[in-house]
């Protein structure tokens, strides 16, 4: 490696969302390239014309950028149709396989001319019959190679007749070996590989030969060789493909790269990770409110560990300095959502308040839209009804964690963009960290500065109680208001409120609230509780629990000195919240 420039690639198919397995593959390739001063190439394998979609390509590019991964060559992700790309950079393009079909055709012609490949006219029925016969005799279910021995006259006759054919590679009679940087030397016997298909569905006839459809193992090898890929880092589900690819390298006389096959990612039940285990796509984790640094950190630990065997938190820059394939294990990795949540909480604690507020806003934006608009008008906010708990939590959350309402309007904010323009509106988040294209195309909500400041404090009070940000609306329900009937119907709360001590505490608190003019401060509220404690002798949970239920509907939650200002300021801002006085009076009178 000392005398060659490392070149690695990530080559996803745009047939679905980017899932954690592919994201880890992309991360490991990126870290390896950056550690060794090499190049990271993004290549789109879109030859599956029926399933490939531009929207999936754009989504995976967006997800890679969200994770903090950049690439030295490949598409930029600015295309909008398959008719006009023009968004690539790099000297080995095109970087989409659908644009490289002529390249594959030229190389197929070369192999045929050199006698290293041959047309196979066997029908599907004939191949199935061969397979069944081999299975009945307990032999490897490999192609017999009978078309390999057709004479040139027989081949020409079949081509003139327009018979469909495949192009197969001639496998030489020697073991196919390759070095795996994770697993050591791997060897396959030639008979276990047989003559693999390179191109399907070609045909001859009067109009000439058709190019057919090149298969995955063929095009990926041609692309890797022509793009001078030095290290192929991918999932272990590709191990069985590798001997066929090695044979293609040998047929062309190309240097075989080094391989590193990463272990399978399993769910908690030790089965291959899938949707039934929960979220698996990067876009879903984004929508759920995981921070990119937490997900990157966790993906790095799925098969790799630090030299000290202890450190578990790493920034992307630290990973670049520490990552090595020598420390990647071949043993399957188990995806542990508890561990991911622990890491996310760790990074939530470290995140700047304005960034968290910007990330959290989309989960609330649709619930505040009318009220923030009214605040910008002629004082109509005071007439607005209170926000009810169901309004705050939302009722349109689907099984993947996506919110149908509100999230799209704040998508750029969730990426860390500004939600203000300096004209009396409070900016949230780090707009400089967002790609210019995202900032230019997104619609930012306009939030009055006092509301933005209040919302930031709300988020910071609630963040310690969540694993990911989409849990914030449920945690915010007590802040926005409580229905006394619902609170009293709760078995735990009802038992607390039934005590004579609770009735006395709430009666004393109501007297003080009613006698008070203006907003209640946290200090004043603390003084009242101390007075009630002194006068009644009631203290501890017997004092605090009934008060908390009256204010928030729950006997537990953030400290009074944090929630009292939020309640009072939210009510004063016209956000549809009842004040402390209104809550206590309404509860005591319920």
- b/e code 405-435 from CB counts within 10 Å (16+ = b): ebbebbbbbbbbbbbbeeeebbbbbebeebe
pTM of the predicted protein model: 0.83
pLDDT tens for the chain, 590 residues long, are 556 799 999 999 999 999 999 999 999 999 999 999 999 999 999 988 788 888 899 999 999 999 999 999 999 855 444 433 457 889 999 999 999 999 999 999 999 999 999 999 999 999 988 888 878 887 777 888 889 999 999 999 999 998 999 999 999 888 899 999 999 999 998 878 889 999 998 877 554 566 789 999 999 999 999 999 999 999 999 999 999 999 999 999 999 999 999 999 998 888 888 767 666 899 999 999 999 999 999 999 999 998 888 899 999 999 999 999 999 999 999 999 999 999 999 999 999 999 999 999 999 877 776 665 555 553 433 443 443 333 333 332 222 232 333 333 333 333 433 333 332 333 333 333 333 323 222 333 567 888 889 999 999 999 999 999 999 999 998 898 888 888 888 899 999 999 999 999 999 999 999 999 889 999 999 999 999 999 999 999 999 999 999 999 888 888 999 999 999 999 999 888 899 999 999 888 75
Residues of the chain with CATH 3.40.50.620: 7-98+266-345, 100-262
For 491: left if phi > 0, alpha if psi spans -120 to 50, otherwise beta; the answer is alpha
State which CATH number among 3.40.50.620, 3.40.50.1820, 3.20.20.100, 3.30.499.10 fits the domain covering 7-98+266-345: 3.40.50.620
Nearest-angstrom CA–CA distance, 490 and 485 = 9
Angle among Cα 251, 254, 260 to the nearest 5 degrees reads 105
- b/e code 198-213 from CB counts within 10 Å (16+ = b): bbeebbbeeeebbbbb
Could you give the 3-state DSSP secondary structure of residue 468? Answer: coil
Output the pLDDT for position 119.
Answer: 95
Has 244 been annotated as catalytic?
Answer: no
Q: Say which DSSP state 149 is in.
A: G
- b/e code 450-487 from CB counts within 10 Å (16+ = b): ebbbbbbbbbebbbeebbbbbbbbbbbbbbbbbebeeb
Domain 100-262 annotated CATH 3.90.100.10: no
Output the pLDDT for position 414.
Answer: 39
**448 φ, ψ to 5°?**
-55, 140
Per-residue CA distances from 28 to 171, 181, 296, 326 (Å): 32, 13, 10, 12
Q: Are 111 and 198 in contact, with CB atoms under 8 Å apart?
A: yes
Nearest-angstrom CA–CA distance, 376 and 130 = 77
CATH class of the domain whose range is 484-588: mainly alpha
Output the pLDDT for position 44.
Answer: 95
Query: DSSP for 221-267?
Result: HHHHHHTT--EEEEEGGGGGGHHHHHHHHHHHTPPPPEEEEEPPEE-
Q: Which of 10, 19, 35 is nearest to 323 (CA)?
A: 35
Q: Are 506 and 547 in contact, with CB atoms under 8 Å apart?
A: yes
Residue 553: Cβ-neighbour burial (10 angstroms; 0-12, 13-18, 19+): buried
Structure-token match 């796509």, residue found: 281
Output the pLDDT for position 89.
Answer: 86
Residues of the chain with CATH 1.10.10.350: 484-588
Output the pLDDT for position 351.
Answer: 96
Q: Among residues 187, 275, 349, 503, which one is catalytic?
A: 275
Give every CB contact of residue 513 below 8 A, 6+ residues apart in sequence: 520, 528, 580, 581, 584, 585
């Amino acid at each position: 490696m000392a005398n060659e420039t490392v070149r690695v690639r990530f080559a996803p198919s745009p047939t679905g969302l980017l899932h954690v397995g592919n994201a880890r593959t992309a991360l490991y390739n990126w870290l390896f390239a950056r550690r060794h001063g090499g190049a990271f190439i993004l290549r789109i394998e879109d030859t599956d014309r029926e399933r490939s979609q531009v929207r999936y390509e754009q989504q995976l590019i967006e997800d890679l950028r969200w994770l903090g991964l950049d690439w030295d060559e490949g598409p930029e992700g600015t295309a909008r149709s398959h008719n006009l790309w023009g968004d690539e950079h790099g000297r080995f393009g095109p970087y989409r396989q659908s644009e490289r079909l002529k390249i594959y055709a030229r190389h197929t012609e070369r192999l045929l001319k050199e006698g290293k490949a041959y047309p196979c006219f066997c029908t599907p029925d004939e191949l199935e019959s061969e397979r069944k016969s081999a299975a009945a005799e307990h032999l490897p279910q490999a192609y017999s190679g009978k078309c390999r021995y057709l004479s040139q006259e027989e081949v020409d006759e079949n081509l003139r007749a327009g018979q469909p054919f495949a192009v197969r590679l001639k496998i030489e009679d020697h073991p196919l070996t390759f070095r795996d940087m994770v697993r050591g030397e791997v060897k396959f016997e030639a008979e276990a590989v047989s003559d693999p298909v390179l191109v399907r569905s070609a045909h001859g006839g009067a109009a000439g030969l058709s190019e057919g459809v090149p298969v995955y193992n063929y095009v990926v090898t041609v692309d890797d060789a022509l793009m001078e890929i030095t290290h192929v880092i991918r999932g272990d589900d590709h191990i069985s493909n590798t001997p066929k690819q090695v044979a293609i390298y040998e047929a062309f006389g190309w240097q075989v790269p080094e391989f590193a096959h990463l272990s399978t990612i399993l769910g908690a039940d030790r089965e291959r990770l899938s949707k039934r285990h929960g979220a698996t796509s990067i876009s879903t984790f984004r929508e759920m409110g995981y921070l990119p640094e937490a997900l990157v950190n966790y993906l790095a630990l799925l098969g790799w560990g630090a030299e000290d065997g202890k450190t578990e938190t790493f920034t992307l820059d630290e990973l670049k300095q520490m990552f090595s394939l020598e420390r990647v294990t071949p043993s399957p990795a188990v995806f542990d959502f508890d561990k991911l949540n622990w890491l996310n909480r760790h990074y939530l604690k470290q995140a700047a308040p304005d960034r968290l507020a910007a990330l959290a806003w989309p989960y609330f934006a649709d619930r505040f839209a009318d009220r923030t608009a009214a605040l910008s008008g002629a004082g109509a906010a005071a007439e607005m009804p209170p926000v009810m708990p169901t309004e705050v939590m939302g009722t349109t959350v689907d099984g993947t964690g996506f919110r149908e309402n509100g999230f799209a309007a704040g998508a750029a904010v969730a990426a860390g963009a500004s939600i203000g323009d300096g004209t009396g509106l409070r900016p949230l988040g780090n707009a400089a960290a967002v790609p210019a294209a995202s900032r230019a195309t997104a619609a930012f909500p306009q939030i009055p500065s006092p509301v933005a400041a209040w919302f930031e404090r709300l988020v910071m009070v609630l963040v310690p109680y969540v694993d990911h940000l989409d849990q914030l609306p449920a945690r915010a329900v007590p802040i926005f208001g409580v229905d006394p009937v619902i609170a009293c119907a709760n078995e735990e709360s009802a038992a607390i409120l039934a005590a004579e001590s609770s009735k006395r505490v709430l009666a004393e608190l109501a007297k003080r609230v009613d006698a008070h003019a203006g907003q209640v401060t946290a200090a004043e509220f603390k003084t009242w509780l101390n007075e009630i404690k002194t006068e009644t002798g009631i203290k501890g949970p017997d004092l605090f629990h009934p008060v908390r239920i009256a204010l928030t509907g729950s006997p537990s939650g953030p400290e009074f000195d944090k929630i009292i200002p939020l309640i009072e300021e939210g009510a004063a801002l016209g956000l549809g919240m009842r004040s402390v006085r209104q809550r206590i009076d309404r509860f005591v009178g319920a």
